[in-house]
Each structure stands twice: as C-alpha cells, then as structure tokens.
Amino acid sequence: MLTTNRGISGLLADSGEARPRVSYRTDLVTALLGVWFGIGLMIDAWAHSNLAELETFFTPWHAAFYSGFAAVSGWIMWQVLRNVRTGRRGVAAVPVGYLAGLLAIPGFALFGLADMTWHTVLGIEQNIDILFSPSHLGLVATMALIISTPVRSAWSGLGTRPTLGQLVPALISLAFATTLVSLFLSYGDALQWSAEGIVRVFSDVEGGAAGDLASSMVITNVVLLAPALLLARRWELPFGAITLLYAVIVLMPGAQEQFENVSTLLSIVAGGLVADLLIRWLRPSASRRGAFWAFAALSALATWTIYVLTASAISGLPAVPELWTGAPIVAGLIGLLLGVLFLPNNVRHEAAA
C-alpha cells in the first residue's frame, strides 16, 4: 500500500518543466472527437424532445452520447500519458489548454453515474424539467470544459491573425460548447420558432406570446453574440469564422425541432455571413475599441433583422410594426452593451508564444 501511495504521489508531483503544446493535428482530432460527443448529445436531446416513451437509461441515444465522451476523454488522457512516458510528472505532463478538460473527465463520469441513478429512481424527463435536473446540469458543465479544450489550446498558441484553417479546431469546439448553453436555455431559444410562429405572435400584443418571443430573442442574441465577441477580442478574425460558428450553433435547436424550423436557422447563418462582412469592413480587435463596439451592435442588428425579414418573406409581414421593427433594434442595443462589457478599453494584443 505504501508503495502504491508513493507511486501515485510521484505521478502527481510536478516535475517542473514548462508545459508542452500539442500540434495543430492533435487539437483538430480533439475538436472532431468533441463533435462526436456533441452530436451524441443532440441525438439524445432529439429523443427526449420527440419520442413519447423513454423508460430506461440504456438507450441508443445515450450510447451515442457516452461513447463520444469515452472517445474524446481517452484522447485527452493519451496526450498526458505520452508526456508522462517522457519523464514529465504532474501538471508538467498536461499540454497547455488541456488541464481543465482533463480535470472535468472524472467529474463527468460521476455525474453520468448520478444521472443513471436519477433516471432509475425517478424516471425519464421529457419536458422542461429535463433542463433543470441537477445531474444534467453537472453533465453539461463538465462537458463544456472537455469539448472547449481546443479553444484554450489555441488561445495562447495562435498569433493574432490566424487563417480560417488554423482557427477551425477552436471554432468547432467553441461552437459546440455554445450549443450546450443553447440546449439548457431552450425555454428561451428564438431559433426554435418557425416562420409562421414568429409572424403570428408579432401580429398580436394580447396573450403574452409576443413577450415570450421577444424575451427569447434577447436570450438567444446573447448566446450567439458572446462567443463571436470573445473570438473577435482575441483574434483578427478571418472571413468565414462567424458563419462557421453560427452554422454549428444552430444545429442544436434544429435537432430539437426535427429541422422543421430550417428557414429560421438559415436566417441566423445568413446573419453570420453579414457579421463576417462587417469584420472585413470594420476590422474590430482588442486594440480598436470603436470598431469592436460597432461590430457588436451592427452584427446583432443585422442578424435579427434578417431573422424577422425571413419569417415575413415566408408568412407575411407581422401586423404590429413596433414589434417587428423594434425587436432587432433591441438586439443591436444589447449587442452594443455586450461590446462595452467585453472591451471597455483598448488593449494591446499579446504576441503568440
């Protein structure tokens, strides 16, 4: 027993070297395995939203989800083990950006066990209660740390002007992490609305449905814009970065609605394209505060204007002009406030290590 304890202590004791960095290929594999993990969750979310009878924890949907966890976790642990074999110990064996994901792995496993116990004792949730289950909240928090690993790896490893190809692992992983937020705020997700529903509720100020949609637009605006501003604060983004980000983010609400809301989803992707055009024009960065603020406001305004106009083109113009004209302006103002919060002062970009 004493020998075992010494062996564990020897592995955990830091050997003192500077932490290594992984290659682009390694980050890309981590991101792609995170896609498996994320799509597994989307399949499971679809099943909970659309299948009437789910009576057991052991389903094909959970198998897709947890196999993704096993794949990406095994890959992260392998990166650490490779460094241990070279003589590194403790934190010195963990690549830059990979520590939080590594620590989240046992946490996710414990929450998975808790989730199985919860379902066995209390049954399977299929309504809004699924979004408030303590075991589910623990799973999504630890999952976010795992699949966002390539973002943290790229944060200090890429220069301020990466190409789109160089940024792909970070974009994919951040986008899938954002889908987790989208999933657990589904009760306020404007992307789940159909064109017909948008026009119908913005044509009637009675009953509270218009307020529900307007509130959902506010929540979803923040969920979409926050990762875009995070990226723009760190890097001078290449064209296509926000389009790719938004194209991945819309997959979760699409899966939950069996992609019956495809016109709404496409309007958001179009908003991402406009955001990329604004980046090319304004060149927002951490050292260009005014351009950053303008990008935050204008990209939000454009995205939600396209959202409303797309619904109107399909189902007719809403009857209450204050709602369909004012809601995108509210989004733009919130975008401006987010821009101020993300970048209150000009800062100098750090040179890549």
CA–CA gap between residue 69 and residue 76 (Å, rounded): 11
* 172 and 49 both lie in a single domain: no
Q: C-alpha distances in angstroms, 127 versus 47, 50, 218? A: 12, 10, 23
Name the strand (E) or helix (H) holding 12: helix 2-12
CA–CA gap between residue 54 and residue 68 (Å, rounded): 21
> Are the C-beta atoms of residues 89 and 12 closer than 8 Å to each other?
yes
> Residue 285, SS3?
strand
CA–CA gap between residue 108 and residue 114 (Å, rounded): 10
Residue 135: CATH number of its domain: 1.20.120.80
Give which of 151, 149, 146 is closest to 167, Cα–Cα. 151
* 215 and 287 both lie in a single domain: yes
Domain-ending residue, one of 156, 188, 212: 156
- Percentage of the chain beyond pLDDT 70 is 87
Q: C-alpha distances in angstroms, 86 versus 3, 38, 255? A: 22, 32, 44
Domain-ending residue, one of 156, 184, 211: 156
pLDDT value for 2: 39
pLDDT value for 33: 95
pLDDT value for 163: 96
* 36 and 74 both lie in a single domain: yes
Token couple for 91? 């934190």
* 62 and 172 both lie in a single domain: no
Under 8 Å CB-to-CB from 267, ≥6 apart: which residues? 303, 306, 307, 309, 310, 311
pLDDT value for 353: 39
- Residue 122: burial class (beta carbons within 10 Å; 0-12, 13-18, 19+): exposed
pLDDT value for 12: 58
Give which of 350, 323, 97, 319 is closest to 215, Cα–Cα. 323
pTM of the model: 0.88
| Sign (positive or negative) of CA dihedral 175, 160, 237, 336 | positive
At 2-46, the pLDDT tens digits run 344 444 445 456 667 878 899 999 999 999 999 998 888 888 777
* 206 and 336 both lie in a single domain: yes
At 196-237, the pLDDT tens digits run 999 999 999 888 899 999 999 999 999 999 999 999 999 999
pLDDT value for 232: 96
At 320-343, the pLDDT tens digits run 999 999 999 999 999 999 999 999
Domain-ending residue, one of 123, 156, 189: 156
Dihedral Cα 228, 268, 193, 321, nearest 10 deg = 100
Lowest mean pLDDT among 31-45, 117-131, 133-147: 117-131
> Are the C-beta atoms of residues 179 and 248 closer than 8 Å to each other?
yes
* 10 and 150 both lie in a single domain: yes
* 141 and 168 both lie in a single domain: no
* 142 and 258 both lie in a single domain: no
pLDDT value for 4: 42
How does DSSP assign 60-77, residue by residue? HHHHHHHHHHHHHHHHHH
| Range(s) of the domain holding residue 134 | 1-156
Number of domains into which the chain is organized: 2
The strand ranges marked E within 26-158 are: none
Token couple for 35? 């896609």
* 70 and 140 both lie in a single domain: yes
Q: Return the half-sphere exposure (C-beta side, CA atoms, 13 A cut-off) of residue 66.
A: 15
Lowest mean pLDDT among 157-161, 248-252, 305-309, 347-351: 347-351
DSSP-derived secondary structure letter, 158: S
pLDDT classification of 284: cutoffs 50, 70, 90: very high
- Percentage of the chain beyond pLDDT 90 is 67
Mean pLDDT of 55-82: 82
* 150 and 227 both lie in a single domain: no
> Residue 163, SS3?
coil
* 147 and 212 both lie in a single domain: no
* 207 and 324 both lie in a single domain: yes
Lowest mean pLDDT among 34-43, 116-125, 269-278: 116-125
Mean per-residue pLDDT over the chain, rounded: 88
Q: Return the half-sphere exposure (C-beta side, CA atoms, 13 A cut-off) of residue 348.
A: 3
Task: Look at the chain and count its residues.
Answer: 353
Give which of 215, 141, 144 is closest to 175, Cα–Cα. 144
